[in-house]
A and B are shown apart, each in its own frame.
Chain A
């Protein structure tokens, strides 16, 4: 069975949610997988490695409404150093907002890259509420959609999927406030401190 290469494009790859999502994909995938994080220094190695795979899954978070710059830089390297045999590229993207559609622009960018560079685009999963969902009772939503993605990629019957927490915006707002307040608490920072409005001065270095 042909292996699938999972590339993690998160800037905090070792501690990232993307790594957890990649792990779930691997668990559910009927085909064997290999995993690598994209770093500043391994672009050429990964570009060369890609030709050994029929399928590559890019896993990454939305950053400033688009692709994270580390992934953007990798794509620029891939454009210059394409593998001799080009794999099908599938995507698992997550954003911290409730609306999975906030990932749409990043997906359009990737589809454009693939089309311009001769890669077939495979399946896509857009996850909303991706920062916290695995730590909530709604983790089943993420797991279920990743299972579907894994089956689609493995079978070659490609599909697009979208999933998020089944909450109203108001409830999500409340839940995310609790999540971030607890996050700050771990570092001894209160909610009030996290809500400060001032930003450091440009002369503050």
Chain B
């Protein structure tokens, strides 16, 4: 058991995870800001084997690029996720990665905010900004707000913002957030 180390651990990483390339790679990579363009990675669908809970706890049995990403999600205390909106949820690229991130949780259940949820491993409490783009209706936006509210329980968000943007404006929205990070 190494839980004590992780309780004491200070999380200071910031993560930008996007489903399409953003024109800020050089500015954002390295140091405490990490940039992950999921569209450039090979990430298979979760197969629901529960191996990361019951065979190799904390480690996915599929050894593809996702295994480099979920540790970053866990370590970051601020995240920006950029995704196309589809039927009121994340589109396939982002959703595939979020499903592959379950090694950061345990199989075991806890009572959290009055509901049953999985116990988190060493996952930093995090502020999340979700930038979603595409063509969407008010109903889709409403479903997405509800979804992120629920994600907050399961992904250790301490707070979150959702920015609904047109496809062309997503880059600018992220740029603004990164420049704010750099000020502090």
Partners in one complex: yes
A residues lining the B interface (CB < 8 Å): 10-12, 16, 40, 61, 63-70, 72-73, 75-76, 97-99, 102, 104-105, 108-110, 112-113, 169-170, 172-173, 176-177, 180, 183-184, 186-187, 189, 192-205
Establish whether residues B121 and A67, one from each chain, have CB atoms under 8 Å apart when the complex forms: no
Spell out B's residues near A (CB within 8 Å). 1-3, 5-7, 45-50, 53-55, 57-59, 63, 67-72, 74, 86-92, 95-96, 98-99, 101-104, 106-111, 115-117, 119, 121-123, 139-140, 143, 146-147, 150-151, 154
Residue contact B49 to A72, C-beta cutoff 8 Å: no
Which chain B residue has the least Cβ–Cβ distance from A98?
B116
Q: Which residue of A lies closest to B51 (CB)?
A: A187
25 A–B contacts from the bound complex (CB under 8 Å): A11-B46, A16-B48, A64-B98, A66-B147, A68-B99, A69-B45, A69-B92, A69-B96, A70-B45, A72-B91, A73-B92, A97-B109, A97-B117, A172-B109, A176-B109, A193-B57, A194-B108, A195-B57, A196-B2, A196-B121, A197-B6, A198-B122, A199-B123, A202-B72, A204-B71
Name the A residues within 8 Å of B2 (CB-CB).
196-198
A189 to B143, CA, bound (A): 39
Residues of A within 8 A of B151 (CB): 64-65
CB distance from B137 to the nearest CB of A (A): 8
Q: Are B95 and A64 in contact (CB under 8 A)?
A: yes
Establish whether residues A194 and B107, one from each chain, have CB atoms under 8 Å apart when the complex forms.
Answer: yes
Report the minimum CB–CB distance from B88 to chain A (whole Å): 5
Q: A69-B99, A193-B57 are in contact. Are A199 and B89 (CB under 8 A)?
A: no
Q: Say which residue of A40, A76, A112, A196 sits within 8 Å of B58 (CB atoms).
A: A196
- Residues from chain A with a CB closer than 8 A to the CB of B47 are 11-12
**A199 with B63: CB separation less than 8 A:** no
Q: Which residues of chain A are within 8 angstroms of B147 by Cβ–Cβ distance?
A: 65-66, 105
Contact B95 A69 (CB under 8 A): yes
Cα separation A99 to B48 with both chains bound (whole Å): 20
Contact check, B115 vs A99: say whether CB atoms are below 8 A apart.
yes
- B48 adjacent to A11 (CB under 8 Å): yes
Task: Establish whether residues A205 and B68, one from each chain, have CB atoms under 8 Å apart when the complex forms.
Answer: yes
Closest 9 CB pairs of A and B: A197-B3, A12-B48, A180-B107, A202-B71, A11-B48, A65-B150, A184-B54, A66-B89, A200-B59
